[in-house]
Structure 1
C-alpha cells in the first residue's frame, strides 16, 4: 500500500494549505460552540486538538469532513471551498468510537472496503486492485485474520484498527482522527501512536487528531499550543524535510 507522492517540490509544496478556517462559527440550539475560529493546517502538519468535553472538538472535525455546516465563516479544503470540494478520497476520517452501531451487519473486510466508495464510485465493480488495497490496509493494521468476522464481534481496540484501515485504504493526503484511542488497551495505544508518528515523519500525510492524551501531544508535538480559541487548543508539529519523504510503503509503518 503506497502513500500518494505526487508532489515534486519537496519544500514549497509542504507549505500549501490543506485546511483553511476563516471566522468559523457554530451554534447548537442557540448555544455558541465555536466562535470566530481562524486557523490554517498546512501540508505535513501534525495537529493535536485538545479541549474539555463540550469544547467543540468533534463538532469541528465533523464540519471539516462536511457532515456539519458552519453557522458562519468559511472552510476550504486543499484550496477549494468545502461546498465545491469533490476529492473526498483524499481525506481519511476515523470518527469517535461511540458513533458506531455495534449491531451493524458487516464483516471487517466489508467495512474496510467501504472506505473506497463515494458518490462517484458507489456502483462501480470491485476489481482485483480494490481487493489488494483492502488486503494491504488490513495487513498494515494487523487485522487480516479478522477479515471474515462481523465488526460487532470485535473488541474496542480491534474495531478502531478496522476503522483506521478503512480510512487509510485510499492513501489519503489528510487523515482526521477523532479520539482514536478511546477504549483501547495501553499496548495497542502505543502501537497506534508509533504508526501515526511514523506516517507523519516519513509519508506525505497531514494528520489532525483529537485527543485527551496530553502527554503524547507534549512529547511529540510540543508543550505549548500554537493557538487557543475558546476552549480549543491547537498543538502543531510541521515536518517537511525532503529526505523524510523517501519511504512510501505503508506496510513498513509499524516499527
Structure 2
C-alpha cells in the first residue's frame, strides 16, 4: 500500500540532469517510502530514474523529510563495478565496446575495385564505364568476353592481363574493424527463482531496459551472455547485450517472446 506523503515547498527543483522531489511523511512510514523506489528504475511521473545514492531521508520530531533524486538517465558505471548498498530490484548499467572484423563487402559503400583487380584481354586499353560503380564480381553480359574480376593471388592465363590494379590505399585490406557496443545489465534479487528465470533470454533479440545513446528496438540487441551468481544475501543476474547498428539477422535470431 503506497505511503501517504505530502509534497513540500521546493519539490520539483531541477539541477543539471536531475530533479529533486521533497516529501513529508510520518516518521514510522519513512522506511516504507524508501522501499517504494528502486535504484535506477524509471518513474515517469516523478521525472526520471531514481538515484538512491543521491537521495536521502531525514527524520524529524514528528515527520520525516524525503529528498528523492530522479535523473534523466540511469546511473552508469564505465568500470563495470557499481557501488553502494543493494536492495531487491536494484539495477546497474555498464557500457563497454569491442570490435570484430567484417568483410569489406559488408560495408554500405563497398566497391568491387577495393579488393579486386580488373582483368581484360590484351587489346583492351581503358576501363569500362561501370568499373568504379561495381559492387560485385558479375560482369555485364555485353562485356564478359573483355573483362573479369580477380582476387589478389588468383591465377589467370592468356588472354587475360591486369588492366587496373587495386588502388594503393586498398592493397592488403580484406576486412574492417566493426564496433560492437556491449551493455551489461546487472540486477539484484532476494529470491533465486526470480534471477534464474531471466536466463532464458540468452541467444534472443531483446530490447534492454535502457539503451543509452543507441537504438532501443529489440532487433538491434542480441543477448550474448546471461549468468546468475550470489553476492551476500542477493541473487545477481547479469545479462549482456551486444549491439548491431544495422540490426541483427532476424531470420537467424528470434525476438524474445516469439516462436522460433
TM-score category, normalised to shorter length: under 0.3
Q: Which has the larger radius of gyration?
A: 2
Query: Which structure shows the bigger proportion of residues in strand conformation?
Result: 2
Query: Which structure shows the bigger proportion of residues in helix conformation?
Result: 1
